[in-house]
Amino acid sequence: MKNIFVVGVGLIGGSFALDLKKIYPSSTIFGIDKNEAHLNEAILLRVIDEKAKLSDLDKADLVVVAIPVDAALKVLPSILNHVSDKTIVFDTGSTKEDICLKVKDHPKRRNYLAVHPIAGTEYSGPRAAIYGLYKSKTNIICEVEETAFKLQEKALKLFSELGMRIRYMNPKAHDKHIAYVSHLSHISSFMLSKTVINKEKNERDIFDLAGSGFESTVRLAKSSPAMWTPIFKQNKTNVIETLDEYIHNLQYFKKLMEDDDFKSVYKEMETTNYIKDILNGIQ
């Protein structure tokens, strides 16, 4: 790995840049970003070594694409146009069906690996980049069989050095499952914040009463709208399905309360407590 290119030098791309430099200390990390200020900041913070352009990609050994999923749909085909036969290109987006479909017939399809690292924080931009973000995290790879064997190997070696755990899925199943365990959590958190903020307009003291429980449920509402809007757009059908089920469950809980059926309210929570074991399984 001599020349590593990171397209999008924010939280995800920047964190890859930091760890990749550690793994391949003699490599040069090039940053590409439409936001010039982010590029300059990434250089200042030593997240990347140099700025670059798409036309420089012919010398790339590895390209990490870490931009919003709508931008990725537009940019990935031209990235593939620019790279050599030996370059491995992977994206990091939270939706996989549209992007796999987009490059399905691209002549350089076998240079591309569809990747979704389940990692992140609620922060964004180069300043949010941290070392070790990917350690012990799950990395979902879609349509692995569409990528050239030697380039698969190269990428898997890299993910293993980052300490990631690999899961293979088809893009359709990925988008459906991730709507439940990631996309829905973000909406529930945003709307919970909205509900409380709207209240606060008239009752300025309300947040003074908030504790760590409130804080953890609304943490994801700090996330970047520029990153999340295109995700919801691309995964619209699945996300609406999860929202329907979530709203239904909330309405049912409300109905139980209205009916004074607190035995069932207890049971609802008791059954759901099972999440403890599940979360222990995650860690």
User: Are 124 and 133 contacting, i.e. CB atoms less than 8 angstroms apart?
Assistant: no
Q: How far is the CB of 145 from its own copies (least distance, A)?
A: 19
Q: List binders of its own copies among 147-176 (CB under 8 A).
A: 167
Decide: is 195 part of the binding site for its own copies (CB under 8 A). Answer: yes
The phi, psi pair for 136, rounded to 5°, reads 65, 15
* 3-class DSSP assignment, residue 283: coil
Q: Which two tokens stand for residue 211?
A: 């504790």
Which residues, 6 or more positions from 198, have their beta carbon under 8 angstroms from its beta carbon? none
The helix or strand, by DSSP H or E, that contains position 116, with its residue range, turns out to be strand 112-117
Binding mask 59-98 for its own copies (x = CB under 8 A): ----------------------------------------
Decide: is 205 part of the binding site for its own copies (CB under 8 A). Answer: yes
Q: Given the complex with its own copies, which of 49 and 268 has the nearer CB atom?
A: 268
- List the one residue out of 42, 39, 90 whose CA is nearest residue 62: 90
Q: How far is the CB of 42 from its own copies (least distance, A)?
A: 22
Residue of 125, 137, 146, 161 that binds its own copies (CB under 8 A): 137
Decide: is 275 part of the binding site for its own copies (CB under 8 A). Answer: yes
Q: List binders of its own copies among 212-231 (CB under 8 A).
A: 212-223, 225-226, 228-230
d(CA 88, CA 148): 9
Q: Given the complex with its own copies, which of 24 and 246 has the nearer CB atom?
A: 246
Q: How many residues bind its own copies (CB under 8 A)?
A: 91
- List the one residue out of 119, 110, 73, 64 whose CA is nearest residue 95: 73
How many residues comprise the chain?
283
Q: How far is the CB of 155 from its own copies (least distance, A)?
A: 19
Per-residue burial over 108-125, b = 16 or more CB atoms within 10 Å of its CB, e = otherwise: bebbbbbbbbbbbbeebb
- List the one residue out of 182, 175, 18 whose CA is nearest residue 98: 175
Q: How far is the CB of 62 from its own copies (least distance, A)?
A: 24
Decide: is 23 part of the binding site for its own copies (CB under 8 A). Answer: no
Q: List binders of its own copies among 94-123 (CB under 8 A).
A: 118-120, 122
Instruction: Identify which range of 14-22, 28-36, 95-103, 254-262 contacts its own copies by CB under 8 A.
Output: 254-262
Q: How far is the CB of 245 from its own copies (least distance, A)?
A: 5
